[in-house]
Amino acid sequence: MAEYDRDWVKLYYDEYGKREWERWEVSPVEQVKFEVHLHCLRRHLEANDRILEIGAGAGRFTQELAKISDKIVVADISPVQLQLNRENAQTLGYSKSIEQWIECDICDLQPYFDDAEFDAVVCYGGPLSYVFGEREKAISELLRVTRPDGLLFLGVMSLWGTVHHFLPQVLKVNPAMNKDIISTGDLGPDKSAASTHFCHMYRAAEFREFLEQAGVVIEVLSASDCLSATWAECLNDVQQDEATWQHLLEMEIGACREPGCLDMGTHLIAVCRKPG
């Protein structure tokens, strides 16, 4: 597996800026993904939970977490994203729900957080996809700071789902390079001809095995989207009718958990429990 480059990740998200907030709203397809992620939070989090949100970015999920709990710690490797997160919280009126904003690396939480400090950890957006070969260290740290019987909400990039979503662009890449990417799941600097977005993309079976080896109990394993992934051209009309839109979301949430659909969304989502 490719090597984790902390400096690249920090620089990438520093430069990504406000797009990290906007990306969940740029199209109805992205909004479907957001709602599937959000459904897991609403279904499993409790009002009194103390929550660590790591890799929080500009705060699109922070805003939603603040509707559930007023005990949130926000963490990110990017100082620019942390500043945007703070500004959005203040502008949109939920800053009182945030205890702290902390710049840190998911693989080294020891200087910042005690053992079993949080009832839940939210790690959406793919931080576990950026740490490559240090993923065992990262999941170990997330588990360490979670209390026994606490929950982890994890999101990673999906290999086949990404191919599914970006198939026309994928087919323009050299076939030998595509075969190597699909074999390893790695998009690294040596594959810059295919993408300048470096990450490890998981198969659903690989993600499940990784989590089981980490010792968690998997409560939910889901794709981020499958039904709507290739129907962007008609979703604008669907979204105009609230009843039809809600019906789509209900079907999407159900379909994304079917074993045959897990690999068809751009992200994989897991809700895991730390054994008591």
What fold characterizes domain 6-273? Rossmann fold (3.40.50)
Give the chain's largest Cα–Cα span. 52
Residue 33 near residue 265 (C-beta atoms within 8 A): yes
* Cα dihedral sign, 135-118-8-174: positive
pLDDT at residue 233, as a whole number: 84
Q: What is the pLDDT along the chain (276 residues), one digit of tens a residue?
A: 789 999 999 999 999 998 888 888 889 999 999 999 999 999 999 998 999 999 999 999 999 999 999 999 999 999 999 999 999 999 999 999 999 999 999 999 999 999 999 999 999 999 999 999 999 999 999 999 999 999 999 999 999 999 999 999 999 999 999 999 999 999 988 898 889 899 999 999 999 999 999 999 999 999 999 999 888 888 989 999 999 999 999 999 999 999 999 999 999 999 999 999
Helical segments of the chain, H only: 6-16, 19-22, 28-44, 60-65, 79-92, 127-130, 135-145, 159-165, 167-170, 175-184, 204-214, 232-240, 242-255
pLDDT at residue 254, as a whole number: 98
**Residue in 121, 195, 207, 119 with CA at minimum distance from that of residue 163:** 195
Domain assignments of the chain as residue spans, ordered by start: 6-273
pLDDT at residue 163, as a whole number: 95
